[in-house]
Structure 1
Amino acid sequence: MENNNPLKIHLIAMGGAIMHNLAIALKRAGHLVTGSDDEIFDPARTALQQEGLLPDTEGWNAERISEDLDAIILGMHARSDNPELQKAEALGLKIYSFPEFVYEQSQDKKRVVIAGSHGKTSITAMIMHVLRFHQQDFDFLVGAKVKGFDLSVKLSDAPVIIIEGDEYLNSALDRVPKFVKYHHHIALISGIAWDHFNVFPKLDEYIGLFETLADLSPKEGALIYNCQDPEVNRIGQMPRAGVAQIPYQTHPYAVREGKSYLMTEEGDVPVAIIGAHNMENLAGAKGVCQQLGITDVQFYEAMRTFETANKRLTILKSSDEQIVYHDFAHSPSKVKATAKAVQEQFPQRAMHTILELHTFSSLNKDFLPQYADALAGIENPVVFVNKSVLEHKGLPPISEKDIKNAFAKEDICYLQDPKDLQDKIESWSPEGNLLIMTSGNLGGINLQSIADRWVK
């Protein structure tokens, strides 16, 4: 984008995690930006307000749409009957989903798309960190806050863009996966775990999304894939003329006295990340960086200082004997991998675990059995389902028996009221590590206050 040719852009449903960051990035690039949404919550509300972009009123208003707009960017939760969208269509304005707009602004760049049911945020963050460490110029789109970057979107005249590409639907007007809209040169597939049951009710359909992505790899492009995942390995090995098909697997590592070390030809390299799943992610990031001209030595040098993306085993507070972790894990595969990582890192420590089920999939009784053994080896875990969230989403109640049967675990403490959860936490003697896994807000309980109580 060129600052001397500003565009007039309106974002419908601008309050989302990516959309509000995109709005800010566009404004900082010199464009004239407006937007709307029916609800805007923090951190988006405060961020937009600080940039002078917060709409005067919430809700939709067709009068915001005029013929002089150069582009409309449509957020995912805007419906097809949105009055602003309908007026934009009637006026014949250019309407983009945010993936389409990002592609429109990135056609002259090398486009790298990181995909998969899990790990894509961490892999994208690792690549961003390595390129920044070595002062490479690049743009990016990532689904979480990454240390060292104040926004999750950057669009400039950089020659490369690193994109976290998810498989959710593109927009209300175009129900195809977002990641196909970026037209990648390099794609990575980290793993496939059926965790979008509400959007993709058939497993075969869900797997097919990643087959489509792989098949879109261009000649002289690259497909980097996790060969330890059976479905990904099958997809990655399918013949594709002219495409470099590059497998990866868990990077060799060791854990000594609660510290992780990468085992390399040049010796052991200390890193802050933990768990086999993160060493798998690291190997994928390394494969992408090699395609971008980063040597192994440069990669390891940068990874010494990498800290996890926000809510990816983020340490809320720690001491020599205790750590409180917060992780976004909610799908069965993520829960299992995250819990296992903390257990492996500190096998001698007591470990308390809280898992909040919050997404439509995780609260669906037909999907719940996917959690079988996800908390295996965890003593007396707490599973929290906020009953008011169930009611708000129009879902039937979930009983203690439902949870224990689904997880195949009898020692689960099942709670449905935030006050009961608060009381449970306060009843614990703060000993060892505490792992909180949630994609929700834990019934409004302040996570940092939990950490401050746990670690004196």
Structure 2
Amino acid sequence: MYTHFIAIGGSAMHNLAIALVKKGVEVTGSDDVIFEPSRSRLERYGLLPATMGWDTNNITADLDAVILGMHARPDNPELLKARELGLRIYSYPEYVYEQAKEKLRVVIGGSHGKTTITSMILHVLKANNKDIDYLVGAQLEGFETMVRITRDAPVMVIEGDEYLASPIDRRPKFHLYRADIGVISGIAWDHINVFPTFENYADQFRQFLDTITPGGTIIYCSEDPLLNEMVKHYDIQLEKIPYQTPAYVVKDGVTGLVENGERVPLKVFGRHNLLNLTAARLVCGKLGVSDREFNAAISTFTGAAKRLEVIGRGAGTMVYKDFAHSPSKLTATTSAVKEQYPDRELIAVIELHTFSSLNRDFLKEYEGSMKLANEAIVFIDKHTFEQKKMQEFSESEVKAAFGDNKLKFFNNTETLERFLSSLNYKGKNLLLMSSGNFGGMNLQELAETAVNS
């Protein structure tokens, strides 16, 4: 088997390439730029292209498959050559399905919580010595790669992103995996550049239900009113399993599940994570893991990378970094930290970085999303507007959209860093939320300043 990756440097793409090499597939790849950690990892497996750029000589008639990454453009010369030769061109979700079509496929979908639910499932299954393949959107402790594809594992657990499959395939990725067991964590509008209305976005989840194999299972959060109605009135025969927030208590800064009068202490916290945990429990139950086995394993789960990740810890101060960027994620994450530490003030900072968050029509969706923060701060790197060729927001526009006149707004990294470093964090927590990097700000240095203030 001989496979070529166009845009091999992407997060999912390079992990898939490594997984195929481990399976014994001959793999080559190309890209015009490759950043760390992809670069080092590809080099370790002999997959780093000798030169950067596209070369039609990479595309030959003996290729069994060409896998096209989102980073490539529709007029990519290697793609055009592959089409000219009539080669089989896959998006990476299509190719993952090809590799997993004889396995039982679990697909985790939803606007939020996908990575955490998938990570929880993998953590529990590994602890219980289950042989599984997987695709997850974050690097997990104890897992070398974000993708595993073997010949013999009977199950594949897949994080099902709703974004587009490839530059030439406008279908959402999670439609292509054809789940046997599907999960939907909730529906909250995102990716406005692809799904211009909420109705259009929500319809992708209705279509996901159609892709579940006949007689399969849908596990869904019934606390989401739209999702609950959608599944309840879905008339194709699926096993429907709703879930809700389980009983829990927060004591001395530790969240614990309450089951049969006993408390199971957790290393994660927040109602959203308890919902994620319940979805993971139901999936693991379908895969033969008992509640007792689940509880023993989940009590050691520390979270997925960049999801409420502790980057600073002091006496009376915690500093968290979180991938939250959409309105629903901001609400969930700020609520979680505030509930976990009700006696501490919360300084919450969000970097608006994605296409959706920088869209004027979408900005109003953030109203009230940071209302629990004692100090709410919004940062937009002015260079981001320039790079995306979008018109800048004014401070008054941002305050109006968030519905908070006390909110502070920054558009310069150095100014934001000086302000945050000047604060006294005694008895306060700092929450840094972004899918970007705050314009290159040294978050670890800031965390050290905060816990030592």
Structure 1 and Structure 2 fold alike (TM over 0.5):
yes
Corresponding residue SS for 1:363: coil
Identical positions, percent: 48
Q: Report the Cα distance in structure 1 between the residues aligned to 2:59 and 2:243, rounded to whole angstroms.
A: 48
Alignment counterpart, residue 130 of structure 1, candidates 120, 124, 127: 124
Instruction: Give 2:292's aligned residue.
Output: 297
1:77 aligns with 2:71: yes
The answer to whether the 8 A contact 1:358-1:440 is kept is yes
Contact 1:251 1:282 in 2 (8 A): no
Q: Does structure 1 retain, via aligned residues, the 8 Å contact 2:190–2:201?
A: no
Superposed counterparts of 1:234-273, under 5 Å:
234-265=229-260, 267-273=262-268
> Any idea what the Cα deviations from partners look like across 1:399-446, whole Å, max 9, x if unmatched?
101110000001111111111111112111232211000100111012
In structure 2, distance between residues paired with 1:45 and 1:436: 27
What residue in structure 2 maps to residue 226 of structure 1?
221
Q: Which of 267, 275, 280 is the matching residue for 2:270?
A: 275
Quote how far apart the aligned CAs of 1:31 are. Answer: 2.1
Of residues 239-248 and 341-350 in structure 1, the stretch that sits farther from structure 2 once superposed is 239-248
Q: Where do 1:27-66 residues align within 5 Å?
A: 27-66=21-60
Q: Quick check: 1:451 aligned with 2:447?
A: yes
2-structure distance, mates of 1:440, 1:46: 21
Bigger shift: residues 29-38 or 296-305: 29-38
Asked if 2 retains the 8 angstrom alpha-carbon contact of 1:10 and 1:34, the reply is yes
Q: Which residue of 2 aligns with 1:3?
A: none
Query: Structure 1 pair 416/451, CA: closer, same or farther in 2 (3 Å)?
Result: same
* Aligned-residue CA RMSD (Å): 1.2
> SS of the counterpart of 1:255?
strand
Query: In the alignment, is the contact (CA less than 8 A) between 1:215 and 1:240 conserved in 2?
Result: no
Query: For the residues of structure 1 that align with 2:184 and 2:254, how far apart are their CA atoms?
Result: 28
> Residue 100 of structure 2: SS of its match in structure 1?
coil
Offset, 1:241: 4.3
2:311 is paired with a residue whose SS is strand
Change (3 A) 1:440 1:239: closer
**Structure 1 counterpart of 2:391, from 389, 393, 396:** 396
Which residue number in structure 2 is paired with residue 359 of structure 1?
Answer: 354
Which amino acid in the other structure matches residue 51 of structure 1? Y
Alignment partner, residue 144 of structure 1: 138
Partner of 1:112: 106
**CA separation of 1:395 and 1:247: change in aligned 2, threshold 3 A:** same
For 1:174-195, what per-residue CA distance to the aligned partner results, in whole angstroms no more than 9, with x for missing partners?
Answer: 2111111111100000000002
Name which of structure 1's ranges 132-141 and 375-384 shifts more when overlaid on structure 2.
375-384
Instruction: Give the 3 Å change call, closer, same or farther, for CA 201–140 of structure 1 in structure 2.
Output: same
Secondary structure at the counterpart of residue 183 of structure 2 = strand
Describe the SS at the equivalent of 1:366: helix
- What is the identity, as a one-letter code, of the residue corresponding to 1:451? A
Q: Which residue type is aligned with residue 294 of structure 1?
A: V
Q: Is the 8 A contact 1:196 1:361 kept in 2?
A: yes
Work out whether 1:437 is the aligned partner of 2:433.
Answer: yes
Which letter maps to 1:401? S
Name the residue aligned to 1:176: 171
> Is 304-313 or 427-436 further displaced after alignment?
427-436
What is the one-letter code of the residue matched to 1:17? S
2:82 aligned residue (80, 85, 88): 88
Q: Give the Cα separation in 2 of the matches to 1:250 and 1:367.
A: 29
User: C-alpha separation between the residues in 1 aligned to 2:422 and 2:416?
Assistant: 10
Partner of 1:4: none
Q: Which runs of 4+ in 1 moved over 6 A?
A: none
Greater Cα offset, 241-250 or 98-107:
241-250
- In structure 2, what residue type is equivalent to 1:165? G
Runs of at least 5 residues in structure 2 that lack an aligned partner in the other structure? none
Greater mean deviation of Cα atoms: 418-427 or 133-142: 418-427
Show CA shifts across 1:49-91 (max 9, x none).
2322221222222111111212111112322211101101111
Distance (Å, rounded) in 2 between the aligned partners of 1:267 and 1:219: 39
Q: SS where residue 182 of structure 1 aligns?
A: coil
- Show structure 1 runs of 5+ residues with no match: 1-6
Paired residues in the alignment total 450
Pick closer, same or farther for the CA change 1:152–1:306 going to 2, 3 Å: same
The yes-or-no answer on 1:100 pairing with 2:94 is yes
TM-score (norm 1): 0.96
TM (normalized to structure 2)? 0.97
